[in-house]
Amino acid sequence: MSDGDGSRDGGQSDGVVVREARPDERVAVRRVVDAAMLDPGDVAGAIARGDALVAVAGDRVVGALVLEPRDHGAHVAAVAVNRSRRGQGVGTALVETAAEQTDRLTAAFDPDVRPFYESLGFDIEPGDDGRLRGAR
């Protein structure tokens, strides 16, 4: 939820704070998702709309989630965590924060990350392209 300055504070995970990304963090968000070989689309536009979250440890962005607005909720365009912070609940905190901010959250993902989305309560179905679709 938005506080007085337009930021939305989310959960914390192991000293990591999840909040809305700021315009000056565009490059940091892009670096995190690029390192995961993901294409989130228009990062600057997502940040301007308030549809990008960052996980921050100290003053360093260690994870990012980019949303695409949909008619009845939002879709995860990309969620990525720095390799050194994986397995520490950062991705979980990002997705849970996004889910708290919308009525319905969807995602499309490869089968190897199915356990991650199942653990977050997503209902999962096979997609037409070999990927899976999830909704929460």
For residue 117, CA distances in Å to 9, 57, 112 come to 22, 23, 10
Whose structure tokens read 């689309």?
A: 41
CA dist 53 and 47 (Å) reads: 8
- Per residue in 63-74, pLDDT tens? 999 999 998 999
pLDDT for the residue numbered 15: 86
Q: Which residues of the chain have pLDDT under 70?
A: 1-14
Domains defined along the chain, listed by start? 9-104 (3.40.630.30)
pLDDT for the residue numbered 22: 97
| Average pLDDT of the chain to the nearest whole number | 90
For residue 131, CA distances in Å to 14, 29, 112, 134 come to 31, 24, 10, 10
What is the model's pTM? 0.88
pLDDT for the residue numbered 10: 53
